[in-house]
Amino acid sequence: MRLLNATFILYVLIFLLFEALKFTGVHFPEWTTSYLNDFLCMPIILTICLKMAHYLTKDRSIKISIAQALVLTCFYAIYFELILPQFVDRYTADLVDVLLYFIGATLFLLLQASANMKQKTLP
């Protein structure tokens, strides 16, 4: 679980630093402004969901299933890549964004599985 927590903190810090630097006028390569947040989105959201489930139920054995991660990632992809671009000019539909949502969700699931394996092997 430490690796998942450390990755979560790292991703949140990267996101906050990136947004703060953009706000102050720092220019980044096009690929970072287009894709970084999409990659960071699902690991951050899924970790928040997991931590909220732990907090609300007081059960730290709860894990996010592949199906739950898939449904939430599909929701984000549909909402941000199909629905919002029709109504908000700031959003554009992009297949690479969808791919990055799923890569991020997969990374989260791998980190969560790694944390579970380590917990089970501890005496």
pLDDT score of 119: 58
What single-letter DSSP state applies at residue 91? -
pLDDT digits (tens, 9 = 90+) for 19-59: 999 999 999 998 898 899 999 999 999 999 999 999 999 99
75-86 pLDDT, tens digit per residue, is 999 999 999 999
pLDDT digits (tens, 9 = 90+) for 97-119: 999 999 999 999 999 998 767 65
